């Protein structure tokens, strides 16, 4: 009776700093060369690069949304203040009509 032993590859997790440095190297020398130097698959470096770009795009979108949110809150506060003034004026003029 022969038993087959499965060779399991251990999935290695790389730190964000390692990924950033790898992408910087890939930017300088190219993805295939960087992947070969680091002992990684090219597709892994390409995947890291696309995720980094997506993250940067999300950051830009989130920043624009934050700015828009602040502007809208300011506008809402101004309109609430104007409405309070109008209500006071309406109450004053209604009182003087009686």
Per-residue pLDDT of 42-94, as tens digits, reads 999 999 999 988 888 888 889 899 999 999 999 999 999 999 999 999 999 88
- Predicted pLDDT at 59: 85
- Predicted pLDDT at 6: 56
User: Is 48 within the bounds of a domain?
Assistant: yes
Neighbours of 68 (CB within 10 A): 10
- Which structural domain range is residue 39 located in? 16-97
User: Is 0.85 topped by the overall pTM?
Assistant: no
User: Is 7 within the bounds of a domain?
Assistant: no
User: Is 3 within the bounds of a domain?
Assistant: no
Instruction: Name the domain count of the chain.
Output: 1
Distance (Å, rounded) from C-alpha 38 to C-alpha 34?
6
User: Is 78 within the bounds of a domain?
Assistant: yes
- Predicted pLDDT at 4: 56
User: Is 8 within the bounds of a domain?
Assistant: no
- Predicted pLDDT at 58: 84
User: Is 9 within the bounds of a domain?
Assistant: no
Instruction: With H, G, I as helix, E, B as strand and everything else as coil, classify residue 12.
Output: coil
């Amino acid at each position: 009776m022969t038993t087959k032993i499965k060779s399991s590859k251990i999935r290695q997790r790389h730190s964000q700093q390692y990924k950033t440095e790898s992408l910087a190297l890939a930017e300088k020398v190219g993805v295939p060369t960087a992947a070969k130097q680091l002992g990684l698959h090219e597709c892994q470096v390409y995947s890291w690069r696309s995720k980094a770009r997506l993250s940067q795009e999300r950051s830009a979108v989130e920043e624009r949304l934050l700015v828009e949110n602040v502007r809208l809150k300011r506008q809402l506060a101004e309109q609430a203040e104007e409405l309070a003034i109008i209500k006071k004026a309406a109450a004053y003029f209604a009182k003087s009509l009686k």
